[in-house]
Amino acid sequence: MVESSTNAVVAGIDLGGTKTTVVLCRRDGSIAAQATIATPAREGGAAMSAAASGLVKEMESSSGLHALAVGVGAAGVIDQKAGVVTAASASFKDWAGFRLAADLSARVGVGVVIDNDVNAFLRGEMAYGALIGCTDAVGIMLGTGVGGALALNGSVFAGPRGAAGEIGHTPGFGALPCSCGQQGHLETLASGRSIALRYTERSGRAANGAAQVADFARAGDPHALATFDAAGRALGQAIVTTATILDVQDVVVGGGVRGAWDLIEPPLAKMLEHNMPVSGYPLIVHPGSLGGSSAVLGSAAAAWESLAHSPELANTMKVGSSC
């Protein structure tokens, strides 16, 4: 990313269950300032908003810059238009129903746009990362769970209820219980939590997360190798199904389990090779290129997009026309 000559910045916020990261970001994606604090998830929505806004103000004061707008990528199901968190996991107190955009805007004094954190991840990769120039894509986050996002015609598509692209909760992958309370979802095979559970079921040996199972696999453990083979094949099946329905060619994968890409990619690639979309165009799966910064940069990109109507920002960054 090339250093910008302007001091115009927006704030991007990645508001997760354990930590909150804020960047002051220029239009070209270069970061003027960045900081991270613990998320007070058990103290409620107002406390989380106050912590995030406080960090924005601290960074503005120390840098001498002022954010023109704020974008937030938050955990949970988000109603973008209303600026409300509509559903959240039990790890958050008083998060579902919280009017995050209005509350945060009142605290920072500028406009705020919010979105799901996986949508922010996809937007970040399209604006500044592996999918620069793409207009249609699927984003997948392999972490504790499996999150999904969808972009069509150059814009992230959230759907009427904010849940479009949630590939992790597509059925057809056996009958194992999912974290959402249903059964047989992709997440039961491909999430970090599930990879550890499935390995323990196969081997009778406890594993401290997917990273340790990956270490076992690289050392030749057949149970660990079989666990990643099942995860990769399931992920490939879900990708082919989604891409065939939507006629999307590009997929970007991020998240903590991305660290085991050398184990997931071979069975995934084999599944894609033997299940070509009816369009005849091969699917291209891109590892995310922004690492842990995808969501926070995607939030910043959303803030810049929200300012596009301003005459002085007529040349605002836009997603490209083709991949």
For 20-57, the pLDDT digits (tens) are: 999 999 999 999 999 999 999 999 999 999 999 999 99
Q: Which of 2-6, 189-193, 232-236 has the lowest mean pLDDT?
A: 2-6
Note the pLDDT tens digit of each residue in 86-136: 988 877 899 999 999 999 999 999 999 999 999 999 999 999 999 999 999
The enclosing H or E element of 19 equals: strand 19-25
Residues facing residue 194 across a β-bridge: none
**pLDDT digit string (tens) for 265-288?**
999 999 999 998 888 888 999 999
Is the per-residue pLDDT at 74 higher than 50?
yes
**pLDDT at residue 323 in the model:** 61
Question: Helix axis angle, 261-274 relative to 210-218, nearest 10°?
Answer: 80
How much is the pLDDT for 312? Answer: 45
108-122, 157-171, 229-243: segment of lowest average pLDDT: 157-171
Q: Which two tokens stand for residue 59?
A: 């960074």
Q: What is the pLDDT of residue 314?
A: 37
* Phi-psi domain of 132 (left: phi exceeds 0; alpha: psi -120 through 50; beta: other): beta
User: Could you give the residue ranges of the DSSP H alpha helices within the chain?
Assistant: 45-63, 100-108, 117-128, 187-190, 192-203, 210-218, 222-246, 261-274, 294-306
Distance of CA 171 to the CA centre of its chain: 21
CA distances from 29 to 1, 105, 180, 257 (A): 7, 22, 35, 25
Q: Which pTM was predicted? A: 0.90
- Where do the domains of the chain lie, and which CATH numbers do they carry? 9-122+292-313 (3.30.420.40), 132-288 (3.30.420.40)
> At residue 309, does pLDDT exceed 70?
no
How far apart, in whole angstroms, are the C-alpha atoms of residue 240 and residue 123?
Answer: 21
Residue 277: its pLDDT value, please? 85
Whether residue 315 is predicted with pLDDT greater than 80 in this model: the reply is: no
CB 115 within 8 A of CB 147: no
Say what percent of the chain tops pLDDT 70: 93
Cβ atoms of 125 and 252 closer than 8 Å: yes
